[in-house]
Structure 1
Amino acid sequence: MSSTTTSTSSRHRKTLQLVLVVVAALVLVGNFVLKSLGDDVAPAEGAEGSALATLETLTVQDAADDAGYDRESDFGTAWQDVDDNGCDTRNDMLQRDLEDFELSAGDTCQVASGTLDDPYTGATIEFERGPRSGDVQIDHVVALKNAWITGAADWDKDKRVQIANDPLNLVASDGPANMGKGAKDAAQWLPDNQAYRCEYVARQIAVKAKYGLWVTPAERDAMTDVLTTCPSEPLPAS
């Protein structure tokens, strides 16, 4: 190989090395700029009337002690006919949330069958009254025990019965998912169906705002994390 060829190859290598160094430097500068911009970006803010904006109005404090809590004596037996329409709350909610429901023969209230597009799991559940009635349960979106430790312990019995039967705080759901949720708040449990999480958290906030319940710091943070992905999520009305 001639000295001219060797010199040319050497220059090419040096040029390539220089290009690589410049590219690496640009990448580092770009990452720094993006990080700086990210640090300056304010968290999403909810529009007026949105769940996120309403969350910011709720009192934030630690949960109270659950001493003395008793579901039936504190919130009444399940289920009652608080709206005096002749149907208990469970059947009211089944009629609201099931598709193609049918009533038991000769009954104007009792739901015998229907189809639930379960919001918690995303599954379709065929409801049939009988041994497998528990496949579909009516969930208290803000669990009654959670309500107790975030303000309801100080209420009178009538107000507790009201929240226990308020359609705003109720949703038909997959039985096992409801049992798995138990009394957990949003920091401890969210629906597996991620497409429903914004609506789920918005409903919890609507209930807490309506009844003057507070949220814990962890609960507030978890709700914020969900709603920053949907800052315009509205509060449900019922």
Structure 2
Amino acid sequence: MALAAVLSAAGCEGIEFVDPAASASGTSAAQVPADPGSVAKPSKTSIAQAKRSLSAITIKTIPGKDPSYDRDKFGDAWSDAAKGVTYAGNGCDTRNDILRRDAVKGTVRTRNGSSGCKVTAGTWVSPYNGAKYTSTRKIQIDHIVPLGRAWASGAKRWSAARRLAFANDPDNLLAVDGSSNQSKSDKGPSAWRPAKPYQCVYAVRYLRSATKYQLPITSADKSALTSMLNGCPK
């Protein structure tokens, strides 16, 4: 089954899944679309969707660490060739696409002007601690559902193409501060949370990706995500 068909079977609402083979080629970096919905302020619709997803998601025991996990199993880091990924084929690697997407509007500078791929400067507000950063060296690209946890949750049985798509899917990526990313590592929601004001966005985005890729969560994760979603703005 084609990857796009597999993911559409998950029944996610409002998630755009673009097959680059079916779209126009030659998209420039300057044409990378903005992230749908504010990263820092989830909409009431996305919060409601997250709560529905949480009530329907599969609950399963997941090993804390699967010794068979290998980052290389998810393909080349920040590949531009992952089929079905929104920005695939635009000529820029995934890291720079996410740096551009998540930067404060109008602050991004690239090596070759507005059409260049390599982001050299900008301003980012980490959705995990709320701090502002102006150096790309301080920013890392986080897999919201970590690769190691996805592997232990079922990705080890996926095709190589699906793992590559997951590792480069903008729906599962955020530009965050390096300290938060390092502390999070491969932990799930029951073992790691961002600063309290940012737990809602984390929970919404975690459930969005877990549902899209039909990944289970643990009962402890469900309790943690429930708590975080209950703290979302009314």
Q: TM-score range by the shorter chain?
A: 0.7 to 0.9
1:53/1:211 CA distance change after superposition, 3 Å = same
Aligned counterpart, 1:221: 223
Separation in 2, partners of 1:228, 1:48:
10
1:54/1:126 CA distance change after superposition, 3 Å = same
1:177-230 CA distance string (max 9 Å, x none): 1011100000000112x2211111110101010001000111111111111223
How far apart are 1:47 and its partner, in Å?
A: 9.6
Separation in 2, partners of 1:66, 1:231:
36
1:148-169 CA distance string (max 9 Å, x none): 1111111111111111000000
Determine if the alignment matches structure 1 residue 102 to structure 2 residue 117. Answer: no
Aligned counterpart, 2:79: 80
Greater share of helix residues, 1 or 2?
1
- Using the TM superposition, name which of 91-100 and 49-58 deviates more: 49-58
Name the count of aligned residue pairs: 180
Separation in 2, partners of 1:118, 1:152:
28
Separation in 2, partners of 1:122, 1:169:
19
Aligned counterpart, 1:189: 192
- Larger Rg, first or second structure (1 or 2): 1
Determine if the alignment matches structure 1 residue 71 to structure 2 residue 71. Answer: yes
Separation in 1, partners of 2:164, 2:213:
12
How far apart are 1:48 and its partner, in Å?
A: 9.4
Aligned counterpart, 1:26: none
1:51-89 CA distance string (max 9 Å, x none): 1111111100100461311001x1012111031110000
2:140 equivalent among 120, 137, 140: 137
Separation in 2, partners of 1:186, 1:56:
16
Given residue 71 of structure 1, which amino acid in structure 2 is its aligned partner? R
Aligned counterpart, 1:36: none
Separation in 1, partners of 2:116, 2:233:
41
- Whether contact under 8 Å (2:47, 2:229) holds in the other structure is no
Aligned counterpart, 2:53: 54
- Whether contact under 8 Å (1:91, 1:109) holds in the other structure is yes
- Whether contact under 8 Å (1:117, 1:123) holds in the other structure is yes
Q: TM-score, normalised by structure 1?
A: 0.71
Separation in 2, partners of 1:77, 1:93:
16
Determine if the alignment matches structure 1 residue 200 to structure 2 residue 202. Answer: yes
Q: TM-score, normalised by structure 2?
A: 0.72
Say which SS state the counterpart of residue 50 (structure 1) adopts.
helix
The list of structure 1 runs, each at least 4 consecutive aligned residues, that deviate by more than 3 angstroms after superposition, is: 46-49
- Whether contact under 8 Å (1:102, 1:114) holds in the other structure is yes
Given residue 174 of structure 1, which amino acid in structure 2 is its aligned partner? D
Runs of at least 5 residues in structure 1 that lack an aligned partner in the other structure: 1-45, 233-238
Superposed CA RMSD in Å reads 2.0
Separation in 2, partners of 1:221, 1:157:
32
